[in-house]
Amino acid sequence: MSNTPATPTPSPSPSASEKLLQRAAPDRVEFEDLVIVPIFAVIVALVLGALTMLATNVSLPTIGLSYIALIQGSVGSLNALSETLTAAAPLILAGLGIALGFRAGLFNIGAEGQLLIGGMASVIVGFSLPDLPMIIHLPLALLAGALAGGLYAAIAGWLRAATGAHEVISTIMLNLIAFRLVDYLLRLPIIQKTGRADPISKSVLDSAELPRLLEWIDPNLRVHAGIILVLAAVFLVHWILFKSTIGFEFRASGENPDAARYAGMRSGLIIVLVMAFAGALAGLAGANQVLGVLDRVTPGFSAGIGFNAIAVALLGRSHPVGVLLAGLLFGALEAGGRQMQVSAGVSIDLIAIIQALIIVFIAAPLLVRKLFPWGFQRTDKSSRSKTP
């Protein structure tokens, strides 16, 4: 607010300087927005989900059963946890990339396409280099995915920087191109699985597969080394954004491109770099799917992960840790949703509805505050409004 009162301290003393270095305690309102609002949002979404089921003639006991299945299928067993993590991994990777773009003021809709291209590149490296030890082959396959995704996204960045073409349009177009490009590549003899007429790639060699982590407990546990990649990516993105000079440039350009330019930052280069980073993360998500779960590429293997990742990034408020948590939530909903379908016979579409409801409510904290006035500290309306 422009009304900070003038404190009469013209003489600088060591203690004054120390005081300047003290951080304010986190705002109560901020804490509520970050923690309590999402919890309530999930609850409201589940309640509304139940009402939706009621409206579609699902009986009350079945609804109860389906929510129990949702919990069991997401966190109820080791297998459930393994499924949740497996589903969350690509969402978090791609979501981190999108969050990076948001921070730099870029709306990257192209994660889906970057993921497809990245997956394609890593599958090619994954099946075409026999006799390599895993310690070389696997990193190579991952790198190929990241590199391809990064380069693909950099096209949109370059278009924006050089011609001003808006990245929303160009990344949507690049998504369409990626879909068809993958279709085309899958019919090339060097890529298509031998003896198959349908578009399907050769399988990834064992030496390029992301190893399953819990195979020693139960061979059916699908959780794989991709989650280590995810954690590393969370740390890396956090470091880039908040600890590095390029992150400083990214954030400055995102908040105020004019001020960034006046400060001598090269906006064109920054745009291309951000897109390349974002694309690399999406490409890595594709590699994660191909090398950790699917073993090969089929048309549309991306399965909308690149689009769901946009919701994950928004839900995580473009903060790496937030993206991690949001991705886990979405992974849990997906894994639990499958169980819901199996045990209670409820449509998988319902899960999509609940996901959407959660996003709506988290995106509207004021609505949640209105619905649960007793859940929040009574806020003085004046302390929340700022004079320009």
Partner 1 sequence: MEIELRGITKRFGEVVANSDVNLTIRPGEVLGLLGENGAGKSTLMNVLSGLYEPTEGTILIDGKPTIFQGPGEAIEAGIGMVHQHFMLVPVFTVAENVILGVEPTGRADFLDLETARQQVREINETYGLEVDPDELVENLPVGIQQRVEIIKVLFRSADVLIFDEPTAVLTPQEVTDFFQIVTALRDAGKALVFITHKLQEILEISDRIAVLRAGKIVGEGDPKQLTEAELAEMMVGRPVSFDVVKQPFAPGETLLDVSHLTVLRENDEIAVEDISLKVRKGEIVGIAGVQGNGQSALVQALTGLTRIAAGTIELMGTDITHLSARQRHKMGMAHIPEDRHRSGMIANFTVAENMVLDTYYDDRFSKGLTMRWKQVNEISAQNVSDFDVRTTSVFEMAGHLSGGNQQKMVVAREMAREITLLIAAQPTRGLDVGSIEYIHSRIIDARDSGDGVLIISSELDEILSLSDRILVMFKGRVVAEFGEGGKPAEKNAIGLAMAGATQ
Residues near partner 1, by CB under 8 A: 1-8, 10, 12, 16-17, 19-24, 243-248, 251-252, 255-256, 258-266, 380-383, 385-388
| Closer by beta carbon to partner 1, 100 or else 117 | 100
The CA-based dihedral angle spanning residues 229, 269, 260, 319, taken in that order and rounded to the nearest 10 degrees: -10
| Closer by beta carbon to partner 1, 222 or else 251 | 251
| Closer by beta carbon to partner 1, 59 or else 244 | 244
Half-sphere exposure of 346 (CA within 13 A, CB side): 34
Q: How far is the CB of 60 from partner 1 (least distance, A)?
A: 43
| Closer by beta carbon to partner 1, 8 or else 373 | 8
Q: How far is the CB of 110 from partner 1 (least distance, A)?
A: 26
CB crowding 73-91: b at 16 or more within 10 Å, else e: bbebeebbbbbbbbbbbbb
Q: How far is the CB of 277 from partner 1 (least distance, A)?
A: 13
DSSP 144-161: HHHHHHHHHHHHHHHHHH
Hunting for tokens 């880039």 — which residue is that? Answer: 240
Q: How far is the CB of 358 from partner 1 (least distance, A)?
A: 27
Q: How far is the CB of 101 from partner 1 (least distance, A)?
A: 17
| Closer by beta carbon to partner 1, 222 or else 317 | 317
- The CA–CA distances, whole Å, from 193 to 198, 204, 210, 297, 323 equal 9, 11, 21, 10, 36
DSSP 278-289: HHHHHHHHHHHH
Cβ(291)–Cβ(143) under 8 Å?
no
Hunting for tokens 């109820």 — which residue is that? Answer: 76
| Closer by beta carbon to partner 1, 222 or else 261 | 261
**Of residues 169, 125, 172, the one with CA closest to residue 146:** 125
Q: How far is the CB of 46 from partner 1 (least distance, A)?
A: 34
Half-sphere exposure of 339 (CA within 13 A, CB side): 24
